[in-house]
Amino acid sequence: MKTLGYYNGKFAPLEEMNVPMLDRGCYFGDGVYDATYSRNHKIFALREHIDRFYRSAEMLDIKIKETKDETAALLCAMVSKVDDGDQFVYWQATRGTALRNHVYPEDMQANIWIMLKPGKIQNNFEKVSLITAEDTRFYHCNIKTLNLIPSVMAATRTARSGCHEAVLHRGERVTECSHSNVHILKNGVFRTAPADCLILPGIARAHLINICREKGIPVDETPFTVSEMMDADEVIVSSSSCLCRGAYAVDGVNVGGRAPEILDMLCRETLREFNEETDI
């Protein structure tokens, strides 16, 4: 089978799956999610994604009865069932099922959704163009919630502009992109926004930080501005689907291109990690 879905113990191809109308995810976006990719039926960075998933659920008081190991085992079992070894692996927990009410019962158990569909990570070595957009999201961006309307709007505007991503900013401060983290290289230093409530600390972001430290590249986790981004030696976006890609333009203005050796190393190293973990 090409796709596979799961809801609280039921498996079926995605087009055959249904969920209860009273699932709180349908009314409030009351849930959390995570996602990564598989290659050769092996899921990349699964433990890191599982840890973030449960951390997000805990911050929203969502009670998941399955343990981390049980959820990881379920995801691995599902990936082994599909035809294609290259899959987009997505899972979410909504708070539970009940009549619509803003106040939720204390004893609710989460509903678990899983979706698999064919997908591959993007080409690390193909540079992209970006746009900027005011960050209008709320102040819990560190929690990977289902409340994604501002990101949906920004991503759609980006696609219709023929670009790859929207760099979000609050005033002058750059936060992240609509579904990626954004970083800059300046004078040999890797700069990335701090892991506060204004960004989701990405798994690919963490890998980039570790690679920089291993290679002796200083890391600065402090805020940077739109102006600093435009003047950076390189502008980089990272996510589970886009491990590390340089940008060549922001809002139609050429950027980066002044630290190609470091950028190329980061692209190669993130891809090497992905390939090594997902090799047969």
Distance CA 197, CA 186 (A): 24
DSSP for 240-260, written as a single string = SSSSSEEEEEETTEE---S-H
Among candidate residues 63, 81, 117, 144, the one labeled active-site is 144
144 is an active site residue: yes
Dihedral, 79, 145, 45, 54 alpha carbons, nearest 10: -90
Distance CA 49, CA 239 (A): 12
Single-letter amino acid, residue 157? R
Dihedral, 8, 9, 13, 15 alpha carbons, nearest 10: -30
Contact 88, 58 (CB under 8 A): no
DSSP for 88-112, written as a single string = EEEEEEE--B-SS-SS--TT---EE
DSSP letter at 15 equals: G
Gap between the terminal Cα atoms of the chain: 21
Closest CA to 250 of 193, 192, 173, 168: 168
Contact 186, 228 (CB under 8 A): yes
Q: Which residues are catalytic?
A: 144
